[in-house]
Structure 1
């Protein structure tokens, strides 16, 4: 009898603990809403009600999320972790949150996000990770986020964003991207093309403002003409890299040199900045040829003009030489010759 009472007391105690509310939180049992904000928490409270749907943990001092951090609240739909000190997330931190729809990680100290973080969030609709120090996002998630409609990544350190990642979000309608370190080179051409289609289909975005290179700094990515971008040259195939690693020269620490047809590609991958097309070499040669031809033609024309003046002068002198004998017949005659009739007295 005493054993049965003890067992019953233990069950009642566990139920009270499971259905209770953490001392530092405020719980709304009717709406399954738990507010643990502004409490100076350094970790997730361990005794959260399992039936809750909304958990507010903003404005605390949480630095790390361990694996299975929310295993006791599998029904959670809204999670707010903004304005904490999060710098590290375990790959399985959100494991078990199959029904989570809104995740807010803004104003933290995150440097990157692993693709494994999102494998257990198939119902996610709104994801905000703005105002962090994120320098890159996964190129792909491995799975399609069919339900995601809002993605906010503004105010980070992003330079590029994979088009493949965006294409895994077919229903996104609001995309916030401003205030990043966007590098508007050939690697951002895919994002430009995707954004043009996104806006054409009714999507809303705050735009991408180039931070580098200096040619495009402060310019809107969508206003840079397509013609100024060229697709990035492909990297050397892995087979070539592995073959270079086994060459004798590589054993002595010598850096392998790519073949001639890839040397330019390697240079352009590192420095494929979008800039105005240079004037072709043949055009420069053509301009130089025209200039030289003009100078030569001018000299020839001056020579011909000089020859013409000389010819006219020579002709005039010759004409004067031939006219002198006829002029002498009009002079007074020699003695013994008859005077002209005009000189006789009347």
Structure 2
């Protein structure tokens, strides 16, 4: 009896060990990768992978997948590693990324999609991630970035956009990146027209505040080819209409006040950079030499174009006149309806009155004939 109990106990121990072994194998390191359980780093670089490896340990904090042959990222592609902080997917063949590919990665800090074949990014891709500080999208085929993506990048400190197909970049997106320290924009076919002056003005303010950016060389139009946007004076943008001088002076005043504020804060130790001093000078260059297009600014865009005061007054006058005319029209309509109703009631009343009079007259004639007949009969008798 005791021997049977001992054998049963041994079987239980073997069963428990087998279960533990199966559990450990379920999250074992993929055979294509090298795993460090101490640092929680999984290295799968250069293994010829076509897809994200499975059975990754849920405690993984760094995953390196560069130099493989991955072509796309499906929905919740990294659901097994919700705690990952660094994700490197550079130098693959990625052409498509599902809008929910990064869903669940709320602690992701560094993401690299460089050296791939991306043409666009969905605005929902980075929506759930609020901790991202480093994003590298360089060496792709991006034509642009969705403006709404800026809301997901408010904590970003580095953004890499070099070597893409960008011709312009929305200023409102850049203004949302309030913690941005470095930005790469080189080797893009920038079109230096009125639509890009918003970027130029933002760059000057950004550099004045201490940001770091590489060159922005114009590709179009032909007369500005290979010119650095940061060094192009505003007067060369002849296609812009000089309708925003007040906005120009407002920006100069803002930058000058900020410079004075910095000097007041740091005392005699403050020494603004040479570029910071160049900002108001560069912005004022457009007023020299009689250049008619020198006041061109981001507000050259139709949606930001300033309306003259007399135009605003004219629009207000038209609106007020329209409201007054509408009220008068409604009053006249009400009076017409009331008059028609009153006339109809009076006509009906007159018809009934005339009918009653005719009826009374007929009854009176009948009585008169009856009386005359009676008096004649009495006379004969």
Task: Calculate the TM-score normalised by the size of structure 1.
Answer: 0.64
Change (3 A) 1:14 1:179: same
1:43 to 30, 43, 51: 51
Give 2:221's match in structure 1, choosing from 206, 213, 227: 213
Q: Tell me if the contact between 1:209 and 1:221 (Cα under 8 Å) persists in the aligned partners.
A: yes
Cα deviation, residue 232, structure 1: 7.4
The match for 2:186 is 178
Whole-angstrom distance in 1 between the partners of 2:194 and 2:300: 12
Alignment of 1:133-172 (within 5 A): 133-141=141-149, 143-172=151-180
Please, which runs of 5 or more residues in structure 1 have no aligned partner? 238-346
- 1:133-174 CA distance string (max 9 Å, x none): 111111232625232100011011110111111112101110
2:128 to 117, 120, 125: 120
Change beyond 3 A, Cα 1:234–1:3: farther
Secondary structure, aligned partner of 1:103: strand
Once the two structures are superposed, the pairs formed by residues 145-294 of structure 1 within 5 Å of their partners are 145-229=153-237, 230=296
- In the superposition, the TM-score normalised over structure 2's length comes to 0.58
The alignment partner of 2:230 has SS state of helix
**Contact 2:141-2:164 at 8 Å conserved across structures:** yes
Identify the residue that residue 77 of structure 1 maps to in structure 2: 85
3-state SS of 1:211 partner: strand
CA distance in 1 between partners of 2:16 and 2:101 (Å): 35
SS of the counterpart of 1:194? helix
The structure with more helix, counted as a fraction of residues:
2
Match of 1:116, SS state, is coil
Task: Please give the alpha-carbon distance, in whole angstroms, between the structure 1 residues aligned to 2:195 and 2:302.
Answer: 17
Moved over 4 A (4+): 1-11, 231-237
- 1:20-35 mapped onto 2 (5 Å cutoff): 20-35=28-43
CA RMSD of aligned residues (A): 2.5
What is the CA distance between 1:228 and its match in structure 2?
A: 3.8
Q: Separation in 1 of the partners of 2:72 and 2:11?
A: 43
Report what 1:109 is aligned to.
117
**Does the 8 A contact of 1:140 with 1:168 survive in 2?**
no
Specify the SS of the correspondent of 2:35. Answer: strand
Partners in 2 of 1:72 and 1:164 — Cα distance? 35
User: Shift in Å at residue 10 of structure 1?
Assistant: 7.3
CA-to-aligned-CA distance 1:107-156 (integer Å, 9 cap, x gap): 11111111111102211111001111111111232625232100011011
Matches of 2:150 and 2:18 in 1, distance apart? 45
Report how far residue 231 of structure 1 moved: 5.3
Decide whether aligned partners of structure 1 residues 2 and 94 sit closer, same or farther in structure 2, where only a CA change above 3 A counts.
farther
> Contact 1:33–1:52 at 8 Å: present in 2 too?
yes
Contact 1:67 / 1:93 at 8 angstroms: preserved in 2?
yes
Task: Give the Cα–Cα distance (whole angstroms) in 1 for the partners of residues 142 and 122 of structure 2.
Answer: 11
Bigger radius of gyration, 1 or 2? 1
Q: Relative to structure 2, which stretch is displaced further, 198-207 or 112-121? A: 112-121
